[in-house]
Amino acid sequence: MPFFRQLVKGYLQSEDYDVTIVEDGQQALDLLAERCFDLLISDIEMPRVNGFELIQQVRANSQHKEMPAIALTSLNSDEDRAKALSLGFNRYQVKINREGILSAVADVLRRPLAGGHDGSPNEASIPTNTSSSQASGSLTELTNVST
């Protein structure tokens, strides 16, 4: 598993989330056709289906249109941020700030971070890109949380 995916997976697991990882946006859509998740965390730059396309398809699906979604990307321009938010991402995080990622996840799920939560298990799913053009490896995450 590429370094970046493993790192973010570790961040989420440290907060008691169960994490599911897929390779890219298309696999995320395929998995969403089979089951529901409580949160999607996605890179923007992925092969086959990029993060912008992924969130558009998620928002167009009545079963998943209300699922919180976080863009987690190396793209740091105002244009990319505005586009991601206008297409349906709830938050936009630039790689890789551990506290920023965990804070965004807790915020969209309205859940306190470890040490302050009720001990209920969380399930996070991470679809990720293995494109060699991404030095750190891209990430698309789907997240389920049991409360």
Instruction: Encode pLDDT of 94-127 as tens digits.
Output: 887 778 888 888 888 875 444 333 334 344 444 4
Task: Using alpha carbons, list the distances in angstroms from residue 81 to 47, 53, 76.
Answer: 20, 15, 7
Q: What percent of the chain has pLDDT over 90?
A: 33
**How far is it, in rounded angstroms, from Cα 143 to Cα 131?**
22
Rg value, the chain, Cα: 14
Burial label, 18 (beta-carbon count in 10 A; 0-12, 13-18, 19+): middle
pLDDT band, very low/low/confident/very high, at 53 (cuts 50, 70, 90): very high
Residue 143 in 3-state DSSP? strand
Q: Torsion angle, CA of 51/53/54/57, rounded to 10 degrees?
A: 160
What's 108's DSSP letter? H
pLDDT band, very low/low/confident/very high, at 51 (cuts 50, 70, 90): very high
Q: 69-73 and 39-42: which strand pairing?
A: parallel
Residue closest to 95 by CA, chosen among 45, 58, 26: 45
Q: Does domain 3-145 have CATH number 2.40.10.220?
A: no
Whether the Cβ atoms of residue 45 and residue 138 lie closer than 8 Å to each other: yes
Residue 110: per-residue pLDDT: 77
Q: Torsion angle, CA of 31/7/120/127, rounded to 10 degrees?
A: -10
Domain positions in the chain are 3-145
